[in-house]
């Protein structure tokens, strides 16, 4: 979890690396002890919160930016507090040292003792004695002498490269540029940037194993190695009793308490770097092998999935093809049934038309026969009437001849003349009647013959058309009806 807090007063800040907005600010910490009275009444207790509120009210108008209990016993309470600026620490100590606190429910006052807190920071004596007494160190080699800083709880975003897209991760380049202000930096290392570092283990002096935590992305730890001791000494001197301050582009400032120590693990020795490089190469090889295995497994899975998908698609296509074939066969059977029904209806229609045609032909033939018979009857009647008329005329003539024979003697001359005129007149009438009857008979005969020929031609045309259709349909021909004339 990030340990940053808002800074409202930047008056004591000193420049650290202004291009990155980094400054150093003195830490104003103090220890406060409150002597507790003896609790004689059972069940009665002292409220830590009330004590803290009393302490906060005692230093007004100044205020704590943090106040927490570091130790609690029956005899005393010890607090660790921090104020905004170290310059106000004297005033705060003066307001607290030797003062008394009166708590509700207690007759005795509580005595307060306050003193500036000692900053937990290694001194020159610490690293000189460590490297002097360490038998496994060689001061002629880098990393085995006081030249490497071990920093913790550095805010990640404060050391991010603003040109990079990922502004949540620190940059080794920026870290090196920042600490170059103290002296030439030989190399830096940020374990969280190494994806394989969490799998690496390094044997330490007592057989312990060093591990790095990569779950905290808000803060990180780093190792900074200088070429010369003077750079290391300047850095330790500058960071002693200081906290890191960051000023943003908007003018707001934040502070963070960082942990600074000298490296005791040979982290940046050539041997350790080479060992980590070899281990990283091994891990990269294993990673590539794992990736290759995963890739092959994924490809195999994809291949199996593709085969399964192809098989399912083939089965689906086969089912679809069978369904379409079934539908096509059903449609073909329906079309065949439809064609059969159409052919059957057409044949039935043709048979009906043929039957109607034959009936019509039979009716025409009957009409023609009736007309022919009527004509023949008319001829016979006409001939019979003519014969009857002739016979009647002969009888009348004979009768008149007999009458004339009787009167011949008396009126011979007149009778002969009259007879001759009568005969002439009758002969003319007979001729006219005969001519009229012949003319009527001729017109009737021509009319009947014309109708008969027309019907015969139509009949023959129908027969030819039927014969042509039968020949085109390759069917057996039926005998044509030949009418007698």
DSSP for 239-270, please give it.
HTTEEEEEE-TTS-EEEE--EEEE--S-TTSH
Contact indicator for 149, 263 with CB cutoff of 8 Å: yes
Structure tokens at 188: 């830096």
Question: What per-residue confidence (pLDDT) applies to 208?
Answer: 43
Question: What per-residue confidence (pLDDT) applies to 204?
Answer: 38
SS3 294: helix
The position carrying tokens 């079309």 is: 335
| Candidate from 54-68, 193-207, 324-338, 433-447 with smallest mean pLDDT | 193-207
Question: What per-residue confidence (pLDDT) applies to 41?
Answer: 63
Question: What per-residue confidence (pLDDT) applies to 419?
Answer: 80
Question: What per-residue confidence (pLDDT) applies to 176?
Answer: 93
**120-137 pLDDT per residue, tens:** 889 999 998 998 888 888
* Mean of all residue pLDDT scores within the chain: 85
How far apart are alpha carbons 375 and 445 in whole angstroms?
8
Cα 94 to Cα 69, 98, 129, 155: the distances in Å are: 21, 9, 37, 34
Question: What per-residue confidence (pLDDT) applies to 142?
Answer: 87
Q: What interhelical angle do 270-408 and 412-472 show, nearest 10?
A: 160
Query: Residue 218, Cβ neighbours under 10 Å: how many?
Result: 15
Q: Is the pLDDT of residue 476 over 80?
A: no
**460-475 pLDDT per residue, tens:** 889 888 888 888 865 5
pLDDT mean over 294-318: 89
DSSP state, residue 61: T
Question: What per-residue confidence (pLDDT) applies to 370?
Answer: 92
Within 8 A by CB and 6+ apart from 45, the residues are 39
Q: Is the pLDDT of residue 214 over 80?
A: no
Is residue 152 very low, low, confident or very high in pLDDT (cuts 50, 70, 90)? very high
Question: What per-residue confidence (pLDDT) applies to 9?
Answer: 83
Q: Label the pairing between strands 259-262 and 4-7.
A: unpaired
Apex CA 194: angle with CA 189 and CA 199, to 5°? 115
DSSP state, residue 169: S
pLDDT mean over 345-350: 89
Q: Is the pLDDT of residue 256 over 80?
A: yes
Spatial strand order of the sheet with 22-26 comes to 4-7, 253-256, 242-247, 22-26, 14-17
How far apart are alpha carbons 174 and 286 in whole angstroms?
31
Is residue 223 very low, low, confident or very high in pLDDT (cuts 50, 70, 90)? very high
User: Which H or E element spans position 420?
Assistant: helix 412-472
Question: What per-residue confidence (pLDDT) applies to 473?
Answer: 62
Question: What per-residue confidence (pLDDT) applies to 202?
Answer: 45
Q: Is the pLDDT of residue 177 over 90?
A: yes
**271-284 pLDDT per residue, tens:** 888 988 888 888 88
Which pTM was predicted?
A: 0.59
How far apart are alpha carbons 122 and 124 in whole angstroms?
7
Question: What per-residue confidence (pLDDT) applies to 39?
Answer: 66
User: What is the torsional sign of CA 67, 68, 73, 78?
Assistant: negative
SS3 93: helix
pLDDT mean over 278-299: 87
Structure tokens at 147: 């030249």
**369-407 pLDDT per residue, tens:** 999 999 998 999 999 888 898 898 888 888 887 877 787
* Cα Rg of the chain (Å, integer): 71
Phi-psi region of 32 (alpha: psi -120 to 50; beta: other; left: phi over 0): beta
Nearest alpha carbon to residue 232 among 170, 309, 146 = 146
pLDDT mean over 59-74: 88
Is residue 165 very low, low, confident or very high in pLDDT (cuts 50, 70, 90)? low
Question: What per-residue confidence (pLDDT) applies to 203?
Answer: 36
Bond preceding residue 403 cis, omega within 30 of 0: no
Residues in the chain, overall count:
485
Question: What per-residue confidence (pLDDT) applies to 37?
Answer: 78
Question: What per-residue confidence (pLDDT) applies to 405?
Answer: 77
């Amino acid at each position: 979890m990030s340990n940053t807090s808002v800074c409202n007063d930047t008056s004591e800040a000193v420049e650290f690396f202004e291009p990155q907005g980094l400054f150093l600010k003195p830490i104003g910490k103090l220890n406060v002890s409150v002597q507790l009275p003896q609790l004689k009444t059972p069940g009665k207790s002292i409220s830590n919160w009330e004590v803290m509120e009393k302490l906060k009210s005692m230093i007004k108008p100044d205020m704590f930016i943090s106040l927490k209990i570091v130790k609690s016993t029956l005899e005393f309470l010890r607090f660790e507090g921090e104020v905004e600026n170290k310059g106000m620490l004297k005033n705060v100590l003066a307001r607290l040292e030797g003062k008394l606190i009166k708590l509700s429910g207690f007759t005795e006052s509580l005595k307060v003792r306050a003193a500036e807190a000692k900053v937990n920071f290694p001194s020159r004596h610490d690293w000189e004695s460590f490297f002097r007494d360490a038998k496994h160190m060689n001061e002629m080699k880098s990393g085995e002498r006081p030249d490497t800083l071990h920093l913790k709880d550095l805010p990640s975003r404060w050391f991010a490269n603003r040109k990079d897209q990922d502004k949540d991760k620190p940059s080794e380049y920026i870290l090196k540029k920042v600490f170059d202000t103290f002296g030439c930096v030989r190399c830096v290392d940020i374990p969280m940037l190494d994806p394989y570092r969490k799998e690496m283990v390094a044997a330490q002096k007592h057989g312990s194993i060093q591990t790095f935590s990569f779950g905290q992305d808000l803060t990180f730890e780093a190792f900074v190695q200088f070429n010369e001791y003077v750079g290391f000494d300047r850095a330790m001197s500058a960071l002693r009793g200081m906290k890191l301050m960051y000023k943003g582009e908007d003018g707001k400032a934040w502070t963070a308490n960082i942990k600074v120590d000298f490296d005791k693990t040979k982290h940046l020795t050539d041997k350790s770097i080479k060992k980590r490089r070899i281990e990283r190469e091994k891990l990269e090889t294993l990673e590539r092998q794992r990736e290759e295995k995963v890739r092959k497994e994924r490809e195999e899975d994809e291949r199996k999935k593709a085969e399964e998908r192809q098989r399912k698609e083939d089965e689906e296509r086969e089912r679809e093809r069978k369904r379409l074939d079934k539908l096509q066969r059903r449609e073909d059977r329906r079309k065949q049934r439809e064609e059969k029904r159409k052919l059957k209806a057409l044949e039935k229609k043709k048979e009906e038309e043929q039957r109607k045609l034959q009936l019509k032909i039979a009716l025409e033939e009957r009409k023609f026969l009736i007309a022919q018979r009527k004509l023949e009857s008319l001829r016979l009647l006409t001939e019979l009437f003519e014969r009857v008329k002739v016979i009647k005329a002969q009888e009348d003539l004979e009768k008149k001849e007999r009458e004339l024979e009787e009167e011949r003697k008396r009126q011979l001359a007149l009778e002969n003349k009259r007879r001759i005129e009568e005969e002439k007149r009758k002969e003319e009438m007979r001729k006219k009647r005969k001519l009229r009857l012949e003319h009527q008979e001729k017109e009737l005969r021509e009319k009947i013959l014309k109708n008969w020929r027309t019907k015969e031609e139509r009949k023959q045309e129908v027969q030819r058309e039927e014969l042509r259709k039968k020949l085109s349909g390759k069917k057996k021909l039926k005998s044509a009806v030949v009418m007698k004339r």
